[in-house]
Amino acid sequence: MQKVFNLFDLKQKVNYKTEILSGLTVALALVPEAIAFAMIAGFSPLTGLYAAFVMGLVTSILGGRPGMISGATGAVAVIFVGLILELKSTFPEISSETILHYVFATVIIGGLLQILAGVLRLGKFIRLVPHPVMFGFVNGLAIIIFMAQFPNFYQKGTSNLLEGSSMFIMLVLTLLTMLIIWGLPKLTKVVPSSLVAIITVSAIVIGFNIDTMTVADTLNQGETIKGGFPPFSFPSIPLTFETFKIIFPYGAIVAGVGLIESLLTLNLIDEITETRGNGNRECIAQGTANIASGLLSGMGGCAMIGQSLINTSAGARARLSGIVASVMLLVFIMFGSNLIEKLPMAALVGLMFMVAIGTFEWASFKTFRKMPWSDVIVMVLVTLITAITHNLAIAVIIGVVLSALAYSWENAKRIRARKYVDENGIKHYEIYGPLFFGSVQGFSEKFDIINDPEEVIIDFKESRVADMSAIEALNSITHRYFKQGKKVHLRHLSQDCINLLNKAEAIIDVNIIEDPTYKLAIDVNQKKHN
């Protein structure tokens, strides 16, 4: 029974009013986002709304980060565009309904891979994302959220801006929404300011019968968000290797993109709430949610940073807010579609503008003169890649790779050697800095093998042999001294370095490896455990 309590975090102190009101706000904000993301891939609005409901509910209950919101996302929706094009190319006569079944199967495969990642405890690797990459990711995402609202200022189906009174009304209502969200918390925090803003602006539009764009105007002709409970639908596709070969790569991309975006969002919410989520548990929850989404006619998804920030900024910290948001979204679909379709887009646009402003790391500008230029370049590049491609996973991967290369380059330049000859005529090389693949060339250039005396000591007290490239460098140096008939002593190598030498079968039989006094802490700890 204790495990059940921990699952639902019933021991956590919950502010029920805040959680419920925040969940309602998130549900309202989920509607246009889910519709828009479904349309990116050419699906019906209900495919996105069902995904938002299932993803949100399952991850709210099982996820590793209370307060984080999941649903249908643009990052995942874009993946299906490529899948649909490949399906139409492979099967020219394929129907739209059959395509959906391939999509559902792809989502299920992605979910299985995410569960596998959680079971293998791969969530910890999100720690490898450097802070400049996080800054770039967050800033790029803020730009995406901001720019995504601009189509609402265009005449439907055209590239022409709204004109005259239509544009004026849209701007005024949007600014009013933003003003309420910004100003109300200065007066009271009894209710979420974003919910008050949506209700106030909607009441003005409906009460005064103002002609402005509504949620219904974003739908294609004949479409509606009205539906029933998500229908169960096991993917009806040929169970062949050819099918698997088509959908598996896209399923793997869904899994990777979903986990990267979800775990980065988890880290961001951790910082905001000053608490710590469980990345591996979130991986399993995301996978379970995607499997359920694929079986319940949804397009899958992952964590949504915008809605998560709406939720946490309203004060929600428990699982209840996500559950309320998901359930209310289903209520809107089943019973409140007519009312939701009347909501003015200006209110939702104003809300998302404020989310974008709150998401952007304005403090990152202050770091330009304080951070190394390599970090600044990585941050700016990740921001641009995220904003231009909308592919968060690729942007983060590129940022991590560039950060790793920059780190390796800087450390490669730190290899130093203090040289002297003692009273016995023995040449000493005291090595400073890490010896790894990036520094082996500089290391090799430190030695004067031809002119050195008959006996040489290479001291690693202030260095560390880090990888196989370093082992090969040692192997090469000792071999070159051996060819000259000279003896080499390797001193102050830690036990793990010696183990690497032994495993690599380096030419240690011609060397004397000494460690007379120096012990690394790691070796002491190992002995204690042994």
In one-letter notation, the amino acid at residue 253 is I
Count CB atoms within 10 A of the CB of residue 51: 33
Res 261: pLDDT: 86
**pLDDT digit string (tens) for 365-413?**
877 777 888 888 999 999 998 888 777 778 888 998 999 898 888 888 8
Count CB atoms within 10 A of the CB of residue 186: 8
Res 17: pLDDT: 92
Q: Are 228 and 334 in contact (CB under 8 A)?
A: yes
Q: Which residues neighbour 37 within 8 Å (Cβ) at sequence distance 6 or greater?
A: 48, 72, 73, 74, 76, 77, 299, 301
In one-letter notation, the amino acid at residue 193 is S
Per-residue pLDDT band for 528 (boundaries 50, 70, 90) equals very low
Q: Are 109 and 239 in contact (CB under 8 A)?
A: no
Mean pLDDT of the chain, nearest integer? 86
37-50 average pLDDT score: 87
Residues pairing with 491 in the sheet: 459, 514
Domain range 413-529, CATH class? alpha beta
In this model, does residue 507 exceed pLDDT 50? no
92-97 average pLDDT score: 92
CA atoms in the 13 A half-sphere facing the CB of 378 = 25
270-288 average pLDDT score: 93
Res 82: pLDDT: 85
In this model, does residue 5 exceed pLDDT 60? no
Instruction: Considering the chain, tell me which residue range(s) the CATH 3.30.750.24 domain(s) occupy.
Output: 413-529
Q: Is the pTM of the predicted complex or chain greater than 0.85?
A: no
Which of the residue ranges 50-64, 148-162, 278-292, 410-424 would you say has the lowest mean pLDDT? 148-162
Res 501: pLDDT: 66
In this model, does residue 142 exceed pLDDT 90? no
Per-residue pLDDT band for 504 (boundaries 50, 70, 90) equals low
**pLDDT digit string (tens) for 344-364?**
999 988 988 887 888 788 888
Res 519: pLDDT: 41
Q: Which residues neighbour 298 within 8 Å (Cβ) at sequence distance 6 or greater?
A: 47, 48, 50, 51, 52, 53, 54, 55, 72, 104, 107, 230, 292
Res 514: pLDDT: 57
In this model, does residue 2 exceed pLDDT 80? no
298-325 average pLDDT score: 92
Q: What is the DSSP letter of 360?
A: S
